[in-house]
Amino acid sequence: MRIIRGYIIKEISVPFFYSLVIFTFVLLMGNLIQLAELLITKGVEIIYVGRLFLNLIPYLLSYTIPMSILTAVLLTFGKLSADNEIIAIRASGISLFPIMIPVLVVGMLFCMLSIYLNDKVLPKSHFASRKILSDIGLKKPTAYLEAGTFIKTFKKYIIFIYSIDKNKLNNIRIYEPQEGKPTRTIIAKHGEFIPIPEQKILKLRLIDGISDEPNPEDPNSFFKLTFKTYFLTLDLAENQGPLEKKPKDMTIQELKEEIEKFKKDNIDSSPLLTEIHKKISISFASLAFIIIGFPLAVRTKRQEKSIGFGMSLLIIMIYYILSALGEALALRQKCQPALSMWIPNILLVLIGAILFYKAETR
């Protein structure tokens, strides 16, 4: 049995490694486009982009580790079954369960790793990313301002910018709604932001434009003022207070402490409880994938990698759709978080157990 266990672990490790690289790379590519846009188009410093990239990796691994385990199980045991190696092992008097044990042990180890990743590493990286984005917003405001849309980031003003080229703005419209008075309008051909992060203010330098200025004799009316240069101060302190942790930024212990505070104030804490069960249930996805993947691979007897990847993607898609559905039910208080967030794992384990039983008894 020791030889068989070693053989199975060796066989499953190679497709696991390749699957991990492929899945992580695929998920990374979509985010790399956004990071490259920050660096090239928006002019964000490379150190910020690099830090965002590093903090992105734990988030991706929380998904790609269970995905890779499922793919590795399907590919490995599909090949062993197609080559009749499973039949040969069973013919020597060994049942399927001992063959599955080493994979289950590996799965449990990855579950423990995922719990640490989702509970300790991921909240820190998520919160660190939010801090970085906040710093970018202070030092490079154009990085998160979109041209061609009404920008309502600033309390007093609604800003519309036709085009943004790094820190250069073109064709700017600024509207200042005033209760009981006509809306004040400022139009400029060009402009640029001058960030002053230490004071949490942002100066907007406008060039060649027209401004509505209050008429001293009639405050309810304006007169047009043509200007070559006009400075407008935007107070970021109004919009950016101390950065508070969201549920995704908290560890399980921090979430429990927050729940206790909410209970004292009679505040519904179901979103926090949902986040706790989400962290734990997703961590055990690796084990659920092994339990359903093993009997599927043995029954299908296909060694083509395309078949294995196809089955893997289908199961993964179903799992995360059920996970999203469970989260929605929990947040809408249609179902208890302790049940709804575990629905995907429970279903996969039940189906896997039935398939395993049928494969073992046939």
276 lies in the same domain as 234: no
Note the pTM of the prediction, 2 decimals.
0.75
62 lies in the same domain as 94: yes
Of the CA atoms within 13 Å of residue 272, those in its CB half-sphere come to 19
Q: Is residue 352 part of a domain?
A: yes
What the block records as the tokens of 83 is 């080559």
Final residue in a domain of this structure, among 183, 213, 238? 238
180 lies in the same domain as 54: no
232 lies in the same domain as 254: no
**Do the beta carbons of residue 205 and residue 194 sit within 8 Å?**
yes
| Cα–Cα distance, 159 to 157 (Å, whole number) | 6
301 lies in the same domain as 223: no
362 residues of the chain, pLDDT tens digit each: 677 778 788 888 999 999 999 999 988 887 888 777 777 766 677 888 888 889 999 999 999 999 999 999 988 888 887 777 776 776 777 777 788 888 999 999 999 999 999 999 999 999 998 888 777 766 666 666 677 777 777 778 888 888 887 678 888 888 888 776 777 888 899 988 887 766 667 788 899 998 887 766 666 677 788 889 988 887 664 445 557 788 888 999 999 998 998 888 777 788 899 999 999 999 999 999 999 998 888 877 655 566 767 888 899 999 999 999 999 898 888 888 889 999 999 999 999 999 888 877 76
185 lies in the same domain as 47: no
- Kind of pairing, strands 150-151 and 158-165? antiparallel
Q: Is residue 344 part of a domain?
A: yes
Q: Is residue 144 part of a domain?
A: no
166 lies in the same domain as 218: yes
Q: Is residue 147 part of a domain?
A: no
Report the amino acid identity of residue 241: G
What the block records as the tokens of 105 is 């042990």
| Crossing angle for the helix pair 2-40 and 96-116, to the nearest 10 degrees | 30
Partners of residue 224 on adjacent β-strands: 212
Partners of residue 170 on adjacent β-strands: 163, 190
Binning the chain into helix, strand and coil, the percentages to the nearest 5 are 65, 20, 15
| Cα–Cα distance, 82 to 300 (Å, whole number) | 8
| Cα–Cα distance, 247 to 250 (Å, whole number) | 5
Q: Is residue 310 part of a domain?
A: yes
